[in-house]
Structure 1
Amino acid sequence: MSELRENLGYSEDHEWTLSVEGQVVRIGITDYAQEQLGDIVFVEFPEVGDSFSEGDVMGTIESVKTVSEIYYPMSGKVTKINDVLEGQPELVNAEPYDGGWLVEVEVEGDVKEALSKLLTAEGYRAVIE
């Protein structure tokens, strides 16, 4: 069974979100998503400073089986990318909630409201079962 963490918000598109500080949230893909993709070999990131709306494509993850789009679970501007993944994309498989995070985004508007729209771990479990 895939690992889910109670302190994260989840999207139906299989991204997780964690409030880091102030308006900034960290985004990655779920353990379930990385299991479905298989061995990840490449991550395509947005640029720092890019702004996106909720639901926009932020990049892609390429595995030995497929290429999958990654979506923004909330509107905002990219403030940081996890450039470690450029040389070690397999960290997304090994540590999807820790070293394998993808980007940090400064959320537009009320961050608590944006986070409240996401699924809880229990709600996400219902989506993937």
Structure 2
Amino acid sequence: MIVHTLRFAFKDTATEEDREHVLAVMRRTAAVESVAFSTVGQSLDTAGGFTHAYCVAIPDLPALRRYMHDPVHLAGDPQIMPHLARIAIGPDLSDDPAPDLAAQVLALHEEKVALHPEWAAELAPLLGA
């Protein structure tokens, strides 16, 4: 199982309606077929000013690839990112003992970046905020 986590904070300009919409879109993404279980909501660790969290558990690398390229996921990110002030990816974790698992996950991320450079460009400023 690969557990992928995000912590994030909304922009000050995000309305309550914007926030609810973002969380609903995240929940829809977290419900795609490749996800075994998920949770979306408040972050109980608010260090760094992160107020919310997203966590999905994905059974294996082929499922992770499907998740990353799922049309629901691809359609959701452009609805989410404009309302976020910042985001922290990970730490991700796994019960898979493969020593090269992190490199394989990174390769899937790099594949998505290559296929969707506009997505990567929109994400980059949120990571450095």
Normalised TM-score (structure 1): 0.32
Larger radius of gyration: 2
Bigger strand fraction = 1
Bigger helix fraction = 2
Higher RCO, Cα 8 Å, sep 6+:
2
Normalised TM-score (structure 2): 0.32
